[in-house]
Chain A
Amino acid sequence: MLSEFLVITIGAILVNNFVLSKFLGICPFLGVSKKLDTALGMSGAVIFVMTLASLVSSLINQFLLVPMKLQFLQTLVFIVVIASLVQLVEIMLQKLSAKLYDSLGIFLPLITTNCAVLGCVVLNAKSAPESIQSTWYGATIYGFCSALGFALALILFSSLREKLDLANVPEAFEGTAISLVTAGILAMAFLGFSGLV
């Protein structure tokens, strides 16, 4: 049991990294990675939302959708749940930490449509191993670890981009182009983890 969760943890963070091997959540990955500070804030928000969304939607899935044979509503319900959760986080953040709210700016509502969050929840409900699909804690751990993987990728990439700011980049590659090239190289580096579990 414990070893299984260890495998889930390592798998979710390194091997099946949401950004770098599943290519989910590319938008915030490129958008909020210019500065390490905002990347850290975004990572925190994503970890919070993704863990909570996994928990809530797993509960809804197990106790509402599956018994009532409403699995065909999964995607629809999950989107509603995630959107409400993000709305909640946004309202609370504005009150509790105005500075973080300012720095996250328009990217906070973007979590609503962050396919990493929806992807994680849908994976939990549909194609994950039995231990994740059928237990709420399995789903939560998977959601949390996936979010950690997302945070790791985002923080690594933003640190790279801060350094990249100082480099002499050929004119044709300036800006987004070199960012994408760097992201590609980072993804290739993460391929090295495949086969770890």
Chain B
Amino acid sequence: MSDKPRKFKGGVHPNDSKALSSRKAIKEAPLFDSYKVIMHQNIGAPPELVVKKGDTVKKGGLLAKAGGFMSVPLHAPTSGTIKAIDKVPGPTGISVPCIEITSDGEDEWGSPFEPISDWQTADPAELKQRIWDAGIVGMGGAGFPVHVKLSPPEGKTIDTLIINGAECEPYLTADHRLMLEQAEEVVLGVAILVRILGLKTGVIGVENNKPDAIEALNKVAGKYNITVQSLPVNYPQGAERQLIYSITGREVPVGKLPMDVNCVVQNVATAAAVTEAVLKGQPSIERVTTVTGKPLVDPGNWKLRIGTPISKTIELAGGITEQPAKLLLGGPMMGIAQSSLDVTVMKNTSGVLLIAQDEVSQYTSEPCIRCGRCVDCCPMQILPATISQAVENKRFDWAEKLNVMACIECGSCSYSCPSHRPLNQQFKRAKVEIRAGLRKKG
């Protein structure tokens, strides 16, 4: 591992606006009256409900059990009664089933499992089982079940564990604060993951605009034989493929997974959740989320329980000073615009972002002027301009030939386009159509 990381090709440098919340310490959110926990929080199969309306649950109690290997269980964020199995608007805008819990105010702890304090000698399989039981998913955004990544299939070996602390999305500071304030927990989590994978060391990659976090991590990293790698600031540094390239120099082929180049990538928040699950016996029911944006009175970072409505988080941040134009879950580059305040915090909600009227570009898209900026900044080195023209003409076969499937939907092209073309959305469309076409072919 060299001290000087490689620089991946492409990328953009948007105004990061992290100053709004990067100096605000993580605050514990108060107990709310009710939580609406969205059922399906992971990539893969949805979990199976084990409670019914009227049941009482303890904080940390099981709400739903894993519905298969590619699935994780769901736990109660607080103690109380199940008010209803209802529907709420999901993060993608479509209504999704949720479990509504009315809090009893006691917040009584009832974790389904005991802490494993001797993790250094414990069986790795037991540790992995604990991570699954605790319902931990990738907390960086995708929500990929962690135990699946830790179980490479027959014939694949893992030699590098990379922990993603890049936090390249503008505005978001949740991971930054977590690394700064709970450095020991993060590093411990990495050490546990290292033990499960049977490796010697792991690397935490952090963008160098967070020197305080790098320093905090370095203080404890040596104790557990973990390396901290400072990375240049370049969006999308935190994207899996780009991070792997920056740290190891390996390129993940299109259509392959990090494990195909012997790597596993996890988020720092995931590492912290692993520590809590193993050492404290606490399932994944809360996470640090950045609630930020210019229209908010007091942007900051909060420890929120899953199922907290977004409207409550905005109240936590002091309310709004002006009518925002957009509400995003996640950062401005890859976050998803919301049409309702009833959306609730999920295990992978890294940020709640309000965007002011004067910050939103309401341009209509214009024809491509072939300036090539999108080609320059595409981290996957495909040709966004040409592909978007193919998609506009519904020529998905062309788009496929031009490798649209390699697109990681980072949004750098849309960000850099002077004609304000909705490139990213067109690629999403093309991918959906091509996948549908493949399914039809069988």
Within 8 A of A (CB), among B381-418: 386, 389-390, 392-393, 395, 398
B395 contacts A168, C-beta separation under 8 Å = no
- Decide if A73 is an interface residue (CB 8 Å cutoff): no
Chain A residues closer than 8 Å to B337, beta-carbon distance: none
B390 contacts A168, C-beta separation under 8 Å = no
Binding site for A on B (CB under 8 A): 367-368, 386, 389-390, 392-393, 395, 398
- Bound-state Cα–Cα, A87 to B417, Å: 55
- Decide if A76 is an interface residue (CB 8 Å cutoff): no
A168 contacts B398, C-beta separation under 8 Å = no
A interface secondary structure, majority? loop
Q: Digit string of A149-166 for contact with B (CB within 8 Å is 1, else 0)? A: 000000000000000011
Chain B residues closer than 8 Å to A96, beta-carbon distance: none
Among B367, B368, B386, B393, point to the contact of A165 (Cβ < 8 A): B393
Q: Nearest chain-B residue to A162 (Cβ)?
A: B398
Binding site for B on A (CB under 8 A): 165-168
Of A165, A166, A167, most B-chain CB atoms within 10 Å: A166
Chain A residues closer than 8 Å to B398, beta-carbon distance: 166
Chain A residues closer than 8 Å to B386, beta-carbon distance: 166
Q: How far in angstroms is the closest Cβ of chain B from A9?
A: 34
Chain B residues closer than 8 Å to A168, beta-carbon distance: 367-368, 389, 392
B interface secondary structure, majority? helix
Chain A residues closer than 8 Å to B389, beta-carbon distance: 166-168
- Bound-state Cα–Cα, A92 to B380, Å: 49
Chain A residues closer than 8 Å to B368, beta-carbon distance: 168
Q: How far in angstroms is the closest Cβ of chain B from A161?
A: 13
With A165-B393, A166-B390, A168-B368 given, name 11 new contacts (CB 8 A).
A165-B395, A166-B386, A166-B389, A166-B392, A166-B393, A166-B395, A166-B398, A167-B389, A168-B367, A168-B389, A168-B392
Chain B residues closer than 8 Å to A165, beta-carbon distance: 393, 395
Q: Nearest chain-A residue to B367 (Cβ)?
A: A168
Chain B residues closer than 8 Å to A166, beta-carbon distance: 386, 389-390, 392-393, 395, 398
Q: How far in angstroms is the closest Cβ of chain A from B72?
A: 43
Q: Nearest chain-B residue to A165 (Cβ)?
A: B393
- Bound-state Cα–Cα, A165 to B398, Å: 11
- Bound-state Cα–Cα, A163 to B66, Å: 50
- Bound-state Cα–Cα, A165 to B386, Å: 12
Chain A residues closer than 8 Å to B367, beta-carbon distance: 168
Q: Nearest chain-A residue to B390 (Cβ)?
A: A166
Closest 4 pairs (CB-CB, A-B): A166-B389, A168-B367, A166-B393, A166-B390
Q: How far in angstroms is the closest Cβ of chain A from B354?
A: 35
Chain A residues closer than 8 Å to B395, beta-carbon distance: 165-166
Chain A residues closer than 8 Å to B392, beta-carbon distance: 166, 168
- Bound-state Cα–Cα, A168 to B389, Å: 8
- Bound-state Cα–Cα, A177 to B392, Å: 21
Q: Nearest chain-B residue to A167 (Cβ)?
A: B389
Q: Nearest chain-B residue to A170 (Cβ)?
A: B367
- Bound-state Cα–Cα, A167 to B386, Å: 9
Chain A residues closer than 8 Å to B393, beta-carbon distance: 165-166
Q: How far in angstroms is the closest Cβ of chain A from B212?
A: 49
**Interface CB pairs A-B, < 8 A, 14:** A165-B393, A165-B395, A166-B386, A166-B389, A166-B390, A166-B392, A166-B393, A166-B395, A166-B398, A167-B389, A168-B367, A168-B368, A168-B389, A168-B392
- Bound-state Cα–Cα, A181 to B386, Å: 22
Q: How far in angstroms is the closest Cβ of chain A from B368?
A: 7
Q: How far in angstroms is the closest Cβ of chain A from B40?
A: 38
- Bound-state Cα–Cα, A167 to B369, Å: 11
- Bound-state Cα–Cα, A9 to B202, Å: 66
- Bound-state Cα–Cα, A107 to B395, Å: 26
Chain A residues closer than 8 Å to B390, beta-carbon distance: 166
Chain B residues closer than 8 Å to A167, beta-carbon distance: 389
Q: Nearest chain-A residue to B386 (Cβ)?
A: A166
- Bound-state Cα–Cα, A165 to B391, Å: 12
- Bound-state Cα–Cα, A166 to B389, Å: 5
- Bound-state Cα–Cα, A165 to B368, Å: 14
- Bound-state Cα–Cα, A67 to B392, Å: 64
Q: How far in angstroms is the closest Cβ of chain A from B382?
A: 15
- Bound-state Cα–Cα, A166 to B395, Å: 8
Q: Nearest chain-A residue to B393 (Cβ)?
A: A166
Q: Nearest chain-A residue to B389 (Cβ)?
A: A166
- Bound-state Cα–Cα, A168 to B393, Å: 9
- Bound-state Cα–Cα, A165 to B395, Å: 10
- Bound-state Cα–Cα, A166 to B392, Å: 8
- Bound-state Cα–Cα, A167 to B367, Å: 9
Q: How far in angstroms is the closest Cβ of chain B from A174?
A: 13
Q: How far in angstroms is the closest Cβ of chain A from B93?
A: 29
Q: How far in angstroms is the closest Cβ of chain A from B420?
A: 14
- Bound-state Cα–Cα, A167 to B390, Å: 9
Q: Nearest chain-A residue to B395 (Cβ)?
A: A166
- Bound-state Cα–Cα, A181 to B395, Å: 24
- Bound-state Cα–Cα, A165 to B390, Å: 9
Q: How far in angstroms is the closest Cβ of chain A from B398?
A: 7
- Bound-state Cα–Cα, A165 to B394, Å: 11
- Bound-state Cα–Cα, A129 to B389, Å: 49
- Bound-state Cα–Cα, A168 to B386, Å: 12
Q: How far in angstroms is the closest Cβ of chain A from B331?
A: 31
Q: Nearest chain-A residue to B398 (Cβ)?
A: A166
- Bound-state Cα–Cα, A167 to B389, Å: 7
- Bound-state Cα–Cα, A167 to B368, Å: 9
- Bound-state Cα–Cα, A167 to B398, Å: 13
- Bound-state Cα–Cα, A156 to B130, Å: 63
